[in-house]
Amino acid sequence: MAGLPALISKGDVARLLLYKHLLPKLEVALGQFSKHNTSEIIQPVRTVVPIAKHNGFLGLMPAYIVHEDILCTKMVAFYGREQGSTLPSTEATVLLFDPERGCVLVVMDGEVITAMRTAAVSAISAKLLMPAKAEILCILGSGHQAISHYDVFTQTFAFKQVRVWNPRKESAERFARTVQGPVTVCSSAKEAVEGADVIITVTGASQPVLFGDWVKPGAHVAAVGACTPDWRELDDVLMKQAVVYADSREGALKESGDIILSGAKVFAEIGEVINGTAPAHREKTTVFKSLGMGIQDAVSAKLVYDQWKSQRPAHKSTAEESHQMKTLDKSQL
């Protein structure tokens, strides 16, 4: 290893990663991914190791973005937690490599990246698929992803009302006190959903919490939770009545209980809509099934690292600089 990798903390990632930089980078990466050309992007479906004893999973998410020479992997542990558990439901660490040497340049917190890039991808799907006149946003779940989704959706779009629901009302009320802006706390999921133009599901549920009979025709759903083959957030009625998009078709067919168990077809990847090779059916009810992809972490980590390098005090050396110094030493011999 050429020197020790740099470490970037959660606080620094939160300070350095901005949606205004992240959104355009993610849109480009999603489009590149959906060309399925391995000379542009190499990203296998994540490897998942069940941690059955603790109702969890460990995911390994490597990706290589060839033209930008970004080599990255995230390691993410995610769990089905009892309601009210104080343990985190997601823990993640991101490694960015020097692609030429193979050494790790930087180890950084992955929780903020996971929260922000997932929300940013949902916002990209909403930009493309939500009805032209979208006034009411509904968020089911009130944890970490709910907060990041609230932030990017209210920064990007002009909703007249944002509703939130959680089976534990005190959790939804805490969410309302945490975010910077108005929120209506609803007493039932049905009350939150009815009449909403955009619905985000960000729950730890393993059984459906969103039912097609409640959903306004033409609404857009960003389905973010239930990322294992036997967990659900959406019922069969919704899955069958909607046009279903995914971040990765291959990932969705392997990992999404909502797709596998309902038998719904994936109409297109969101990257195909970005590329103009599949239509955006804004006039119909749409579901964007998000599983999360390594390329999303890779572009986020590169943004963080570039910002961090540009702001870091000059005396600290990283693995990258140690390597440059060694190369220089050799060439001087």
Ligand X SMILES: O=C([O-])C1=[NH+]CCC1
Please return the burial class of 313, using the count of CB atoms within 10 Å of its CB with bins 0-12, 13-18 and 19+: exposed
Which of ligand NAI, ligand X, none sits in contact with 99, Cβ below 5 to 8 A by type? none
- Residue 156 or 317 with smaller CB distance to ligand NAI: 156
Closer Cβ to ligand NAI, 6 or 120, answer by number: 120
The one among 32, 34, 145, 285 contacting ligand NAI by CB under 6 A = 145
Compare residues 208 and 292 and give the one whose CB is closer to ligand X: 292
Q: Would you count residue 159 as binding ligand NAI (CB under 6 A)?
A: no
Using CB atoms, what's the residue nearest to ligand X?
292
* Shortest distance (Å) from residue 272 CB to ligand NAI: 18
**How far apart, in whole angstroms, are the C-alpha atoms of residue 246 and residue 111?**
22
Minimum distance of ligand X from residue 232's CB (angstroms): 14
What angle do helix axes 144-156 and 19-33 make, rounded to 10 degrees? 100
> What does 122-170 look like in DSSP terms, one character per residue?
HHHHHHHHS-SS--EEEEE--SHHHHHHHHHHHHHS--SEEEEE-SSHH
Q: Rounded to an integer, what distance in angstroms lies between the CA atom of residue 79 and that of residue 225? A: 11
The phi, psi pair for 311, rounded to 5°, reads: -110, -5
**DSSP 3-state of 325:** helix
Contact 205, 142 (CB under 8 A): no
Output the smallest distance, CB 332 to ligand NAI, in A.
Answer: 47
Among positions 66-95, residues that touch ligand NAI (CB under 6 A) are 78, 83, 89-90
Question: Binding ligand NAI by CB under 6 A: which of 224, 234, 264, 319?
Answer: 224
Closest CA to 261 of 289, 281, 284, 285: 289
Edge to edge, what strands does the sheet with 220-223 contain? Answer: 184-185, 161-165, 136-140, 198-201, 220-223, 286-289, 243-246, 268-269
Is 225 an interacting residue with respect to ligand NAI (CB under 6 A)?
yes
Tokens, residue 293? 């992809």
Task: Give the relative orientation of helices 294-311 and 19-33 as an angle to the nearest 10 degrees.
Answer: 140
Q: Does 219 bind ligand NAI (CB under 6 A)?
A: no
Q: Does 193 bind ligand NAI (CB under 6 A)?
A: no
Footprint on this chain of ligand X (rule: CB under 6 A): 76, 78, 90, 114, 227, 291-292
The nearer residue to ligand X, 34 or 285, going by C-beta atoms, is: 34
Minimum Å gap between C-beta 241 and ligand NAI is: 22
Work out how close the CB of 213 gets to ligand NAI at its nearest, in angstroms, rounded to a whole number. 18
Find which of ligand NAI, ligand X, none residue 301 binds, CB within 5 to 8 Å per kind.
none
Distance CA 255, CA 289 (A): 10
Q: Report the residue number, 13 or 134, with the smaller CB distance to ligand X.
A: 13
Distance CA 138, CA 219 (A): 11
5 is in the binding site of which of ligand X, ligand NAI, none (Cβ under 5 to 8 A by kind)? none
Choose the binding region for ligand NAI from 31-39, 95-103, 202-210, 277-285 (rule: CB under 6 A): 202-210
For the chain, the C-alpha Rg in angstroms (whole number) is 20
Among ligand X, ligand NAI, none, partner that 266 touches (CB below 5 to 8 angstroms by kind): none
Q: Minimum CB separation from ligand X for residue 252, in Å?
A: 12
Residues at the site binding ligand NAI, with contacts judged by CB under 6 A: 78, 83, 89-90, 114, 118, 141-146, 166-168, 171, 202-205, 209, 224-225, 227, 290-292
